[in-house]
Structure 1
Amino acid sequence: MGSRSRARWAAGALGCFGLLCAVLGIVMIAAVPSIIKQQILKNVRIDPGSLSFSMWKEIPIPFYFSAYFFDIINPDEILKGEKPQVRERGPYVYREFRHKRNITFNDNDTVSYREYRNFQFQPDMSNGLESDYIVMPNILALGASVMMEDRPMSLKLIMTLIFTTFNQRAFMNRTVGEIMWGYEDPFIQLINKYFPDMFPFKGKFGLFAELNNSDSGLFTVYTGIKNFSRIHLVDKWNGISKVNYWHSDQCNMINGTSGQMWAPFMTPEYSLEFYSPEACRSMKLVYEAQGTFAGIPTYRFKAPDTLFANGTVYPPNEGFCPCLESGVQNVSTCRFNAPLFLSHPHFYNADSVLAQAVLGLDPSEKEHSLFLDIHPVTGIPMNVSVKLQLSLYIKAVKGIGQTGQIKPVVLPLLWFEERGSMEGKTLEMFYTQLVLLPRVMRYAQYVLLAVGCVLLLIPIVYHMRSQGPDSPESQPSPAAQPPPLLSPYAPLLQGPQQ
């Protein structure tokens, strides 16, 4: 085989290979999006065979619960009618462990489970110890006083006598551990003995005593195995599809997910809805901006300005009232009728009157706003920081001497942050399986198409060059050349030159 024949054969072979690459590239462009979608759906649904099931069952992401207390500086002056002054103490940081138990798959494409939580104090991450003493309002005494405001004077006088007998004062000085996880009190024992249904707790009283080593209720959520459109959405909580704490059907609805995963393939128009048993309501976060976390693209969602707005500012929230100033939500109906309020820390994004009524507060968007960074393709959180504040409404109640001359005020008790971010082997596995491989598949389809087009040009260029005027193949052979034409002026016979 000559060199020209070998070149022609090589060009043809490259052309055939290029055609194959181009066809594969076109096929991949048509098929890869569907393949990636099916792969992601397979791995994010609640299915024992999915990649995310182990993450859903036993959350491997380290979560931390940080508590910041408002230590009261002037309790005696508050009883005389002066403005409260507080100083922030903390953070007191706890490692939060979450694990699901009693997992039961149902016939209607749902799964039921209970998620248990327990907390371990992290002294090396904290600014203080659980043995630190904090001056705080006596929630039981001041809360009960506000609840008794409209009762007959005789009952209020009896309440004053009970408070005096059991040494219940308006403010208390207790340790961080007692405030968080509970303390025993003879007053609580008396109430539970004669009024067993007044308080939901039967032992120690603490702000988070119900959370440690307990579950947040029976959740039933859609798995997405049979019907992707409802993946992760809550079907029922404790057997009900709506709560009865509030005064409108809209506010009582259980919307969204359980707050751990959302549907994949998000767009900026998407909003994050989830039901929070601690807040006794569903919440909706809105899209803020695109970003990245450890090289993974994310969407950041934040709380809208209307999340804790009162009914005057945002009429759909009228069902959460009775309301005070905008920016604090009354949660008394789901907290044994105690006058407790939920808000952003330091009354951030609330009516300025609330922060001005308490000395020592400094609301800041950077320090006190909450956000969730979600990988939009899978709906899995990458970086989370949820910050909320619990406050107590206090005031002087005529007939109850322990309340003194307290001016009406929403007094912050503490604010807390639950934060967590994907890291370590979990992050590496997530990045490889659900980010890197789909990205490689997307790039591969265009690389194959480009390579195929380039290789297809090689035989075409070779053929064009082989047909050019300077090509040896374009020159006829001597045997094929026609005889030269004779000039009319040339002699027919030419003898030898003399």
Structure 2
Amino acid sequence: QNVRIDPSSLSYNMWKEIPVPFYLSVYFFNILNPEEILKGEKPQVQERGPYVYREFRHKSNITFNDNDTVSYLEYRSYRFQPAKSHGLESDYIIMPNILVLGASMMMENKPMGLKLALTLALSTLGQRAFMNRTVGEIMWGYDDPLVNMINKFFPGMFPLKGKFGLFAELNNSDSGIFTVFTGVKNMSRIHLVDKWNGLSKVNYWHSDQCNMINGTSGQMWAPFMTPKSSLEFYSPEACRSMKLIYKEPGVFQGIPTFRFVAPKTLFANGSIYPPNEGFCPCMESGIQNVSTCRFGAPLFLSQPHFYNADPVLAEAVIGLHPNQEEHSLFLDIHPVTGIPMNCSVKLELNLYIKAVKGIGQTGNIEPVVLPLLWFEERGAMEGEPLRTFYTQLVLMPKVLHYAQYVLLALGCMLLLVPVVHQIRSQEKCYLFWSSSKKGSKDKEAIQAYSESLMTSAPKGAVLQEARL
């Protein structure tokens, strides 16, 4: 009852406006040899960051429906945290020009005339394959002359209307209309997504299984988990549902937890893991092509530094060092309630680049999946919400669990009292009854002695002591 999406439940306010402080940490891959890459040499990168942002989330337009579901919009905003960051938003980063290289890849199979026209347009606008921009511009957007020109001469052709930035669409925006089950009428479906933006499945991928919207919205899960449980959730940013698997039990601030991690097959290609065939066309295992939901740009998702991916990917770029401690993701869930206690979700955004014949800006770039940045969304329950959670959902059930045995023992003791009292009463009655059955001589002696006490003794007589 306390985890249902209901205004009377204990966790409703926690669900409505997450009290856990979330932080977005972004690490950029600064290109050290852009000119050499254009000549066909191996890319060399240097990790910069983290640049940390406090993430604020709150739900609005909350509407309870008749079919045991609730619809809502969740808004997010970000605020830079200089004290937690290793650098400032004014820092300059050399990165691939996503618009130039992305457009070049999209034009690869077009007529040569169009490629030459694009080369001329890029040259006129001063666009190159690599750019030197500030962290703030890369994150939240900058005015790009190529975008402005396309929108001016070909209105409606390009999805972007304003500034171009990798996180521009996330700040001060929502992640779509989620409709999830409340669990009030049917606890077995609690928090599961019924629809997203009115859809029960998406159409980005090439199989029904990959297009399905499975699991929750990624904030809470069904209660009473076991080691056989898994965490499924739909991510609008990844345009797909993901599944995490159980790893081990643990304890967070005195609260028992189950740790769930990403399986090695999360971004595996179709040849390694056949169910992922619908996400193809695929390249090496460990990266997922998200071009179909990112306007056709050759963008790929992976774990940071190509962790759990084909080693060929990390070996193709100098400066990558994948390891489990720094680059694996996890969620620690309280198994009784399905509420996350501690989480760290890490993903990397990559761009596939290569030389495209007819477009001079691409030079002699060798085909490579080049990492742009990786980010971590981290949050842990703390403060008053943690104390309330521990008291109401951990301490009190534990006290009641042991109290039932104490009360059971006390009840047994109270039941024994009248039994013992009854037994002792029967023993007294038996003794009195058996004493009344003694010989008649004893009765006569006692009676004579009693009468002697009742009569006055003769003068000068001395009463002898009578011993019974």
Letter in 2 for 1:156: K
* Secondary structure in 2 matching 1:44: coil
Match of 1:5 in 2: none
Bigger mean CA deviation after superposition, 84-93 or 220-229: 220-229
Separation in 2, partners of 1:466, 1:231? 60
1:233 aligns with 2:192: yes
Give the C-alpha shift of residue 461 in structure 1.
6.4
- Report what 1:58 is aligned to: 17
Report the counterpart of residue 287 of structure 2 in structure 1.
328
Contact 1:182–1:204 under 8 Å retained in 2: yes
Aligned ranges for residues 388-403 of structure 1 at < 5 Å? 388-403=347-362
Which blocks of at least 5 consecutive residues in structure 1 are unaligned?
1-41, 486-498
Give the percent of matched residue pairs that are identical in Structure 1 and Structure 2. 76
1:75-224 matches, within 5 Å, as: 75-224=34-183
CA–CA distance in structure 2, aligned partners of residues 465 and 173 of structure 1: 97
Using structure 2 for the length normalisation, give the TM-score: 0.90
The answer to whether residue 403 in structure 2 is matched with residue 444 in structure 1 is yes
Give, in whole Å, the separation in 2 of the partners of 1:70 and 1:314: 29
Structure 1 residue 474, shift from structure 2 partner: 6.0
Q: What one-letter code is carried by the residue in structure 2 that aligns with 1:112?
A: S
Residue of structure 2 aligned with 1:265, choices 224, 231, 249: 224
Q: How far off is 1:47 after superposition?
A: 1.2
Q: Which amino acid aligns with 2:226?
A: T
RMSD value, Cα: 2.0
Cα gap change, 1:479 to 1:317, in 2 (>3 Å) = closer
Residue in 2 that maps onto 1:304: 263
Query: Shift in Å at residue 451 of structure 1?
Result: 2.6
For 1:412 and 1:398, the matched residues in 2 are separated by: 23
Alpha-carbon distance in 2 for matches of 1:130, 1:140: 21
Matched positions, count:
442
Equivalent of 1:68 in 27, 32, 44: 27
Alpha-carbon deviation of 1:194? 2.5
Instruction: String of CA shifts for 1:433-457, please: whole Å, max 9, x gaps.
Output: 1222222221111111123334545
Q: Indicate the residue corresponding to 1:414 in structure 2.
A: 373
1:460 CA drift (Å): 5.7
2:236 aligned with 1:277, yes or no? Answer: yes
Of the structure 1 ranges 168-177 and 193-202, higher mean CA displacement relative to structure 2 is found in 193-202
3-state DSSP class of the match of 1:413?
Answer: strand
Is the 8 Å Cα contact of residues 26 and 375 (structure 2) preserved in structure 1?
yes
Partner of residue 314, structure 2: 355
CA contact (8 A) 1:71 1:136 kept: yes
What residue is the counterpart of 1:32 in the other structure? none
Letter of the 1:254 counterpart: I
Q: Which one-letter code corresponds to 2:388 in the other structure? A: M
Q: Distance in 2 between matches of 1:323 and 1:414?
A: 21
TM-score normalised by structure 1 residue count: 0.85
2:237 maps to amino acid: E
Equivalent pair of 2:72/2:177 in contact (CA under 8 Å): yes
- Aligned residue type for 1:452: G
Please tell me whether residue 246 in structure 1 is matched to residue 211 in structure 2: no
Deviation at 1:476, TM superposition (A): 8.7
Deviations 1:170-192 (A, max 9, x none): 11110000000000011110112
Instruction: Say which of 421, 427, 430 aligns to 2:389.
Output: 430
1:377 aligns with one of 336, 344, 360 = 336
